[in-house]
Amino acid sequence: MMSSELSQPAPPAPLRRILLVGPLPERLDVIGGTKVVFSGYVHSLAAAGYSVRTISTTRPLKQAGPLKRAWLNVSTLVRVLFRLVVESRRVDMVMFGVSSYAALSSGPPIWAVSRMMRKPLVVRIFGGDFCEVLATAPRWRRRLAEATILQTEQVLVETQRLVNGLPRPEVRYFPNVRDTRRGRRPPSRACRRFIFLSQLRPEKGVREAIDAAAQLPEGCTLTFVGPIMPGMQATELQGRKNIEYLGTLPPEEVPGVLAQHDAFVFPTYYPGEGIPGALVEALQCGLPVIASRWGDVPELIENDKSGLLVSPRSTNELRDAMRLLADDDVLFQRLAAGALARGDQFRTGVWQKRLEELLQEAHGARVPARKAA
């Protein structure tokens, strides 16, 4: 019995040092939701007492043409892999945050280096379209992903649909979370000020929102916040009835701006839409959300409870929903209360313990030793 006990592998040392590899906000790039989410992991884990090191995968792609974009992607991957080799020696595990498409290209080499360094790897996939991206990828790329990134210690996805679509024990649900402070302004009794906060792209329903705003009752406004992306022009927002454009805001200013509005508008039909963190922030500020039935948005926004759902690309349905909130104060106040309750379910503090449990579980899974040549 003693020899049997002696043959048991020693338990791993406690998880204390984590290397986070992923998109972080940088001065020359657009600050999007994935960067806010990933930087949130950095701050929350550091606040919980972990020693956190980071490698940013951000590169300034907004104005880059195809050739420059390809060069930036390759050069960034080489830089990240080199730093991963160096930094892995100083940590207990690696957490890699990546979009669905990038997971297929950069995921396998990240997996290979992590295995070479014998570090447990947790992959956090952003967005809601990984199943579709994987299914439509070339056969060789699909098989490579299945043999590498889908064989990591943990794969964290932000929607239940992805968990169901990837029936593997490594795949776990971990939603986008926020810890948005509620504004000091007393809750509104009437809905007059709507806000759209996201990248301004046609596929986000921006033009439908502009047209719907023009048909709102007197005294109602729609504020746009976010960077103007290819396919949209700033002139489309200028001189339009009931429209205001505030430009791009740093993340720390978003809660204050949300608190000055009454309802959130998100008529997206963007491919791969998951559960944007901006929707969580809006709910936590008590703003009912008018959103399209698209992607995984209905997982978060409960129709007639925390907001109203409309058909994608339907200006008329969007207009009618905005008018309904503006005209029916009782409905608006009920949905505002529902928004607060729903938003509180996705607070960082609620999910922080779960994140630490998942990381500890992944750390406890032993990385297979490399076979001798």
In the chain, what are the domain boundaries? 9-177+349-364, 193-346
| Residue 352 tokens, joined | 């922080």
Please, are residues 300 and 279 in contact by the beta-carbon 8 Å criterion?
yes
Q: Which parts of the chain are beta strand (E)?
A: 17-22, 51-56, 93-99, 121-126, 154-157, 171-173, 193-197, 221-225, 243-245, 263-266, 289-292, 307-310
- Cβ neighbors of 8 (< 8 A, separation 6 or more) are none
Please, are residues 118 and 365 in contact by the beta-carbon 8 Å criterion?
no
The confidence band for 1, taking pLDDT boundaries of 50, 70 and 90, is very low
* 6 has pLDDT over 90: no
pLDDT in tens, 50-63: 999 999 998 775 55
What's the CATH fold of domain 9-177+349-364?
Rossmann fold (3.40.50)
- Cβ neighbors of 43 (< 8 A, separation 6 or more) are none
Domains 9-177+349-364 and 193-346 in one fold:
yes
Please, are residues 307 and 288 in contact by the beta-carbon 8 Å criterion?
yes
| Residue 135 tokens, joined | 């299914």
pLDDT at 372: 44
pLDDT at 188: 77
* 366 has pLDDT over 60: no
User: In 3D, which of 347, 265, 276 has the Cα closest to residue 309?
Assistant: 265
Average pLDDT over all residues of the chain: 91
How many Å apart are CA 321 and CA 369, to the nearest integer?
58
How many Å apart are CA 281 and CA 340, to the nearest integer?
10
pLDDT at 69: 81
User: In 3D, which of 268, 271, 270, 283 has the Cα closest to residue 346?
Assistant: 283
Q: Are strands 263-266 and 243-245 parallel, antiparallel or unpaired?
A: unpaired
Backbone angles phi, psi at 242, to 5 degrees: 65, 15
pLDDT in tens, 86-103: 999 999 999 999 999 999
% of the chain surpassing 70 pLDDT: 90
pLDDT at 52: 98
H/E element, 136: helix 130-136
The confidence band for 139, taking pLDDT boundaries of 50, 70 and 90, is very high
The whole-number average pLDDT for the span 13-30 is 83
Determine the 3-state secondary structure of 346 from DSSP: coil
The confidence band for 183, taking pLDDT boundaries of 50, 70 and 90, is low
pLDDT in tens, 210-236: 999 999 999 999 999 999 998 999 999
- pTM, two decimals, is 0.88
* 312 has pLDDT over 70: yes
The architecture of the domain spanning 193-346 is: 3-Layer(aba) Sandwich (3.40)
The confidence band for 9, taking pLDDT boundaries of 50, 70 and 90, is low
How many Å apart are CA 307 and CA 336, to the nearest integer?
8
User: In 3D, which of 244, 249, 257 has the Cα closest to residue 213?
Assistant: 244
What is the DSSP track for 1-47? -HHHHHHSPPPPPPP-EEEEEE----TTS---HHHHHHHHHHHHHHH
User: In 3D, which of 159, 95, 170 has the Cα closest to residue 126?
Assistant: 159
- Cβ neighbors of 241 (< 8 A, separation 6 or more) are 213, 214
The whole-number average pLDDT for the span 269-288 is 94
The confidence band for 180, taking pLDDT boundaries of 50, 70 and 90, is confident
